[in-house]
């Protein structure tokens, strides 16, 4: 009889411990999911910020203010940073490809891209505003570049 009471107490203790462990696991999973969403929101915010910085720099470039070579390098840098953040954002394959193509064109074809700043500025502003047409506009700018030229 005494042996049965001891076994019942151990079984009840094991079940209670199992329930507490399960609750703790669910809490940690919930916290992990919440933190992941928060990090993704931060990446998206920074991505849009970099696009906005590039667009503002393009506006100054178009207005021919200051050292144009430095402004062009800044534009390229901002677009590169936006590409890095696009890579970190989940479910953003389209933006990753377009931003990388724009960055490649800025690096490889600076003479041609200098003439496309107005269109690219509009595309980046639309992309920062979450408009799908921005990606199409940026893709059109990339497609308009003669890849065999300079």
The helix/strand/coil state of 35 is helix
Predicted structure pTM score: 0.79
Q: How confident is the model at residue 148 (pLDDT cuts 50, 70, 90)?
A: confident
33 belongs to a structural domain? no
Query: What is the reported pLDDT for 50?
Result: 93
Q: Is the pLDDT of residue 149 over 70?
A: no
Number of domains making up the chain: 1
104 belongs to a structural domain? yes
6 belongs to a structural domain? no
Domain hosting residue 138, numbered range: 44-143
84 belongs to a structural domain? yes
66 belongs to a structural domain? yes
7 belongs to a structural domain? no
> Which tokens is 126 given?
């639309």
Average pLDDT over the chain, rounded to an integer: 89
């Amino acid at each position: 009889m005494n042996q049965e009471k001891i076994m019942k107490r151990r079984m009840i203790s094991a079940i209670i411990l199992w329930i507490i462990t399960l609750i703790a696991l669910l809490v940690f999973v919930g916290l992990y999911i919440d933190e992941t969403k928060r990090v993704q929101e931060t990446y998206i915010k920074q991505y849009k910020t970099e696009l906005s910085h590039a667009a503002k720099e393009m506006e100054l470039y178009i207005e021919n203010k200051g050292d144009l070579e430095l402004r062009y390098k800044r534009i390229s840098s901002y677009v590169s940073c936006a590409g890095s953040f696009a890579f970190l954002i989940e479910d953003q394959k389209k933006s990753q490809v377009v931003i990388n193509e724009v960055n490649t064109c800025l690096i490889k074809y600076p003479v041609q891209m200098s003439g496309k700043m107005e269109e690219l500025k509009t595309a980046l502003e639309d992309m920062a505003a979450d408009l799908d047409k921005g990606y199409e506009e940026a893709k059109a700018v990339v497609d308009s570049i003669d890849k065999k030229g300079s």
